[in-house]
Amino acid sequence: MNFDLTDEQRMLQETVGQLAEKQCPVTEIQKRLESEEHNAALWKALSDLGVPGLAIPVEHGGAGLEVLDLAVVAETLGYHATPGPYLGHVLAAHAISLGGNEEQKKRWLPGLATGERIGTIAFAETGSAWDPEQWVLSGEGPLTGTKEFVPSADIADLIVVGLRGGQLGVVEKGAAGLAVDAVDCADLTRRVHHVQFEDTAREILPLGAATSTAVRDVGLSLLAADALGGSQRLLDMCVEYAKTREQFGVTIGSFQGLKHQLANMAVDVEPNRGLYWFAAYAQDHVPHEAERISAIAKAHITDRYMQIGRDSVEAHGGIGFTWECDVQIWFKRAMFDRAFLGSPSEHRERAVQLAPWAS
Amino acid sequence: MDLTYDSELESFREQVRAFIAENWPREGDGAVQKFRQLAIDSGYLYRHFPKQYGGSEQDAHPLKAQIIREEFGRARAPGEPLGIGPSMLAPTLLERGTEWQKEKFIPRTLTGELIWCQGYSEPGSGSDLASLRTKGDLDGDEWVINGQKVWTSGAHLADYMFCLVRTEPDAPKHKGISYLLIDMKQPGVEVRPLRTMTGTADFNEVFLTDVRTPRDWIVGDRGEGWLVSRTTLKHERNSIGGARRTEESLNALARLAKKTTRNGRPAIEDPAVRQRLAQIEGYVQAHKYSGFRQLTKDAKGESVGSLQLMMKLFSTNIQHDVSRLSMDLIGADGMLSAGSAHLGTPARDSQSWIGAYMYSLGIAVAGGTANIQRNVIAERGLGLPRDAAATRSSK
Ligand SMILES: Cc1cc2nc3c(=O)[nH]c(=O)nc-3n(C[C@H](O)[C@H](O)[C@H](O)COP(=O)(O)OP(=O)(O)OC[C@H]3O[C@@H](n4cnc5c(N)ncnc54)[C@H](O)[C@@H]3O)c2cc1C
């Protein structure tokens, strides 16, 4: 038994973390929060580390690593609330790696691997229809219809679109009839958009239908990882504040009530680290458990993240309720992680249907 | 015990309905104000305030009060305004104010004409409010006030502030504070908006620099401000603890569950959703009947005991539960901001639910955090010893 990250994975986390801290500390995030402009310098710096192509096969210009590597990076980016297109991008790359033919891979993956081209995924349809089984947008011919909550659609060069029958198609930037509308979303570090197609050209990924649930499951494990990182950050912020803020002549952290609340938060963070590791690891190594465990990990960890967000506001008192307090940044990332790709209750329902103990 | 609506009460209900049907909705300038005045004159609003101060001076009657709330609510007719003035300042003045203060301030506060803000919290003094440092010095016939308040809701709209100020620097912590009324529209009062996490600025920092207020704009005696403020806090707990709002939240939540879907069916048909709604209803019903108990005791001039201390925490806990379930129901719209407009679930719904999701946290902190409520319940309600640090620092 060796259930632990490798030295390389730790290094990766450390390197990405240092970069995130240096290039985009929270002061910088706060400053840019209301600017819609893509932080191209930050994405370039991440690209120089190879982040966009981590799991893209070596022959297509990537590092040929695994979902767990994507997940440890997601945890780190979640900890730092790093803005940018990471999540949609690596999922789009994954979809093309798994679902594309050789020619498509050759054409698209190298640009995605260097980060020079940005990818994203368009899964949701009206009424929270995230699941491949629920997609109704037809891919028979050119696309006409709407996709909702598409991350970074404004800067994406490639959009991997979920289609009826669980198929996947690719729409390229500038395609005729493609319209992108900004959504007034809570998380301003990962903006989402509505995408409309009007007789828009698409290219079908031949193995898409066999791939789309796997792409979703990778997404679920990355969201769980992001949520774990964000939860850890909120906990750290609360602990730091409890050590500095004084009331009644002592630091508030010396009140047992608050101390226990912070301890409870910690119990909702550290034990979940192994859960997201396994969910991500299973994607490559334990295929028969991958779907169920990623549903459980996403539902559980993003749900806890949201509650930790709520508890963090309370632990900070009045300042916790303000825009200027950093808590709100992670609170809103929790809103994203919780809702994106489907809410906890939907994934729990699916997990129960797949559960050996339920049959 | 008698909770049936006897024929007298049923005819009272008819009377209220007829009054509303005749007078609301109405049009033109100041329609709301005029309606409220009519409602006061007819004995439907501010029943426990004397006529002299703009109330309708009715005998306390919890069931009549309940009927009025129900009927006004049903018709969406303007009832007693929710502001901090009518709900906190006016009752405090009624209990502790001088005759001229009552006459000058209460009537126009009740109609919503005078807007108030509450200047208690300071950057260094929140839970430990009695450590506040804004100071007031008497200069002839006027107080001169210097300091800073924070999280002051509605200060940008307020005509006046009721404010805690340290006037007796040599007295022990709790005994050195006075309760002063301050005109906000004067030089030296600087209001800087603070944005909340929802994105809008509803509260403020207020900087007070050589601000002046007449010597007799003090409620209670010098150094009695802490005690006077406890009266106000009691009223704040009353109003925040209002069972009406939690009942409305539950009804709105049930409506949301009818409009949203779960597994392809209306969410209201999902057993898990039904269970959670019913669970919340347990608390809401308990809240409602606790409200009846409180009103009845109030009417008899008796105390309802430790229940009083629990109501704020009890109701904010309900709001937390409501918020969490609403977030489950709105699904993908849970990614929207508090002020967004979007398709899917009708726009206003989602955005107002997200606003409420965030506000349930603001409410949990405002007027004393949950932990401070727990301390009060444990210490005053259950008779447990006081927190060691708090005891030390009160000396
Ligand atoms: C939406 C909103 C509106 C407000 N409006 C007004 C207003 O109009 N006027 C006004 O004067 N104030 C207002 N406030 C301020 C409010 O009263 C204070 O925020 C509140 O009393 C907490 O004080 P604080 O913010 O300084 O937090 P702190 O007192 O610093 O508390 C920080 C954390 O420490 C915990 N803590 C502190 N002491 C203890 C203890 N002894 N035991 C256990 N835990 C403890 C708290 O529970 C909290 O979790 C408002 C606040 C909000 C959020």
Closest CA to A25 of A39, A44, A12: A39
A residues 197-226 closer than 8 Å to B (CB)? none
Identify the domain containing residue A343 by its residue range.
Answer: 210-358
Residues 6+ apart with CB under 8 A from A186: A332, A335, A336, B335, B336, B337, B338, B354
For the residues of A166-220, what is the DSSP string, one character each?
A: GEEEEEETT-TTEEEEE--BS-SSS-EEEEEEEEE--EE-TTGGGTHHHHHHHHH
The whole-number pLDDT of residue A300 equals 98
Give the largest Cα separation in chain A, rounded: 71
The mean pLDDT value of chain B amounts to 90
The whole-number pLDDT of residue A131 equals 96
| For chain B, domain boundaries | 7-75, 116-226, 241-393
Chain B: closest CA distance from residue A38 (Å): 19
The whole-number pLDDT of residue B161 equals 98
Distance in angstroms (rounded) separating the CA atoms of residues B231 and B263: 51
The whole-number pLDDT of residue B325 equals 97
pLDDT tens string B219-232: 999 999 999 998 76
CB B350 within 8 A of CB B327: no
Domain annotation covers residue A290: yes
pLDDT tens string B13-54: 999 999 999 999 988 888 988 999 899 999 999 988 999 999
Q: How many residues does chain A have?
A: 359
For the residues of B25-45, what is the DSSP string, one character each?
A: S--STTHHHHHHHHHHHTT-S
CB-based contact A317 B195, cutoff 8 Å? no
DSSP state of A357: G
Domain annotation covers residue A201: no
Residue of B125, B194, B320 lying closest to A322 (CB–CB): B194
**Confidence at B348, pLDDT banded by 50, 70, 90:** low
Segment B120-126 mean pLDDT: 97
Q: Which amino acid is at B346?
A: P
The whole-number pLDDT of residue B344 equals 44
Distance in angstroms (rounded) separating the CA atoms of residues A302 and A290: 18
Q: What percent of chain B has pLDDT over 70?
A: 93
Segment A25-52 mean pLDDT: 95
Distance in angstroms (rounded) separating the CA atoms of residues B251 and A327: 31
Helix (H) or strand (E) holding A279, with range, is: helix A273-285
B80 is catalytic: no
Distance in angstroms (rounded) separating the CA atoms of residues B315 and A316: 21
**β-pairing verdict for A158-163 and A250-251:** unpaired
For the residues of A108-162, what is the DSSP string, one character each?
A: HHHHHHHTSS-EEEE-BBTTTB-SGGG-----SSSEEEEEEEEETTTT-SEEEEE
Look at residue B164 and give its three-state secondary structure.
Answer: strand
Q: Determine the residue among A187, A245, A247 to mutate to test chain B binding: the one whose Cβ has the most chain B Cβ atoms within 10 Å.
A: A247
Domain annotation covers residue A281: yes
**Confidence at B61, pLDDT banded by 50, 70, 90:** confident
The whole-number pLDDT of residue A177 equals 98
Considering the domain B241-393 in this protein, what is its CATH number?
A: 1.20.140.10
Q: Which tokens is B241 given?
A: 């603890």
**β-pairing verdict for B116-119 and B160-166:** parallel
Residue keyed to tokens 């950093």:
A326
Distance in angstroms (rounded) separating the CA atoms of residues A179 and A173: 10
Q: Tell me how far the alpha carbon of residue B360 lies from the centroid of ligand 1, in angstroms.
A: 14
Residue of A nearest to B340 (CA): A184
* CATH number of the domain residue A294 falls in: 1.20.140.10
* pTM of the entire predicted model: 0.95
Domain annotation covers residue A92: no
What is the Cα B38 distance to its own chain's centre?
Answer: 24
B241-393 matches B116-226 in CATH topology: no
The whole-number pLDDT of residue B234 equals 60
The whole-number pLDDT of residue B341 equals 45
Residue of A185, A249, A323 lying closest to B196 (CB–CB): A323
Q: Determine the residue among A259, A330, A345 to mutate to test chain B binding: the one whose Cβ has the most chain B Cβ atoms within 10 Å.
A: A345
Segment B241-250 mean pLDDT: 81
Q: Is the pLDDT of residue B238 over 70?
A: no
Segment B122-136 mean pLDDT: 97
Q: How many domains would you assign to chain A? A: 1
Residue keyed to tokens 């710096």:
A45
pLDDT tens string B77-120: 998 887 899 988 999 999 999 999 999 999 999 888 899 999 99
pLDDT tens string A105-142: 999 999 999 999 999 999 999 989 999 999 999 999 99
CB-based contact B195 A349, cutoff 8 Å? no
Considering the domain B116-226 in this protein, what is its CATH number?
A: 2.40.110.10
- Give me the phi and psi of A42, to 5 degrees please: -65, -45
Look at residue B327 and give its three-state secondary structure.
Answer: helix
Domain annotation covers residue A325: yes
A341 touches chain B (CB under 8 A): no
> How many contacts does A have with B, using Cβ atoms within 8 A?
137
A313 touches chain B (CB under 8 A): yes
Domain annotation covers residue A229: yes
Segment A13-17 mean pLDDT: 98
**Confidence at B340, pLDDT banded by 50, 70, 90:** low
Q: Tell me how far the alpha carbon of residue B204 lies from the centroid of ligand 1, in angstroms.
A: 14
Q: Is the pLDDT of residue B393 over 70?
A: yes
Distance in angstroms (rounded) separating the CA atoms of residues A109 and A57: 9
> Peptide bond before B25: cis, by omega within 30 degrees of 0?
yes
Here the ipTM equals 0.94
Ligand 1 contacts (CB < 6 A) are A 245, 247-248, 252, 255, 257-258, 314-315, 317-318, 321; B 117-121, 126-127, 151-153, 203, 362, 365-369, 371-372, 375, 387, 390
**β-pairing verdict for A192-200 and A178-182:** antiparallel
The whole-number pLDDT of residue B66 equals 78
Ligand 1 atom having least distance to the Cα of A314? 49
Look at residue B349 and give its three-state secondary structure.
Answer: helix
Closest CA to B388 of A253, A245, A255: A255
